[in-house]
Structure 1
Amino acid sequence: MVQILGNTLENKKKVYIALTKIYGLNKYQTLFLCNKLNIGKDCKVKDLNQNYFVKLIKLIEQNNLIVENNLRQKYRSDITNLINIKCYRGIRHIQKTLNRR
């Protein structure tokens, strides 16, 4: 098993499918990253060495993809901004949290 950006990728899965476990990456983006790194669709996680994963992280940073904690933080700050300006969507978030109590 390989750990990348805080997620454990299973060895038996294909690379482009296993990378979708990373929060913020969808199938299209993972296929794009695999094509950039010349990783075939049939390649499995266990077939790759550590250099590919280092290149993968660098490629994510180069393409300015927001993933994991940064994306969660941005999402949270957007919701708090909606709540602060008291727009309809922000009010709905407030009502949702009040109903949970």
Structure 2
Amino acid sequence: MARLFGTEIPNEKRIEASLPYIYGIGRSTSKRILEQAGINPDIRTGQLTDEQLTKIVQVITTDGILIEGDLRREKQSILKRLASINCYRGQRHRRGLPVRGQRTRTNARTRKGKKKTVGAQAKKK
């Protein structure tokens, strides 16, 4: 398996489909990277030469594409800033509720977690 930026990318897939295994690179970004590097997107990852791999790395670094740890740190700092300035989005992130205006009376189980019954309890005899 080829290793780019600390991520193993599969050898048997096309390079265009293998690059999105790196956090921060999607399909369209991978197409753009391969176009700038001058590499055929239909080549399998295992068939790439070391020169082509370094060209891909060079294109990613020169374009300033945030990937892996840098991108994760950036996203985390944005969420910390939102929480620290006490804005609505930051409060929702802090409480673990939906951030983008979704309803919470029903649904929203992915954000809220397992259902907790509040209020009516069964009578004991």
In the superposition, the TM-score normalised over structure 2's length comes to: 0.74
Structure 1: gaps (5+ residues): none
Let me know the Cα RMSD of the aligned residues.
Answer: 1.4
Whole-angstrom distance in 2 between the partners of 1:94 and 1:63: 33
Does 1 or 2 have the higher relative contact order (CA < 8 Å, sep 6+)?
1
SS in 1 for 2:70: helix
Determine what percentage of the aligned residue pairs are the same residue. 25
Consecutive unaligned residues of structure 2, counting only runs of 5 or more, are 98-111, 114-125
Moved over 4 A (4+): none
Greater CA radius of gyration, 1 or 2? 2
Give a deviation string over 1:14-56, Cα, whole Å, max 9, x none.
Answer: 0011000111111111001111222223111011011111111
Q: How does 1:1-101 map to 2 (within 5 A)?
A: 1-96=1-96
Q: Which has the higher helix share?
A: 1
For 1:66-90, what per-residue CA distance to the aligned partner results, in whole angstroms no more than 9, with x for missing partners? Answer: 1110000000000000000000110
Structure 1 match to 2:107: none
TM-score w.r.t. the length of structure 1 is 0.91
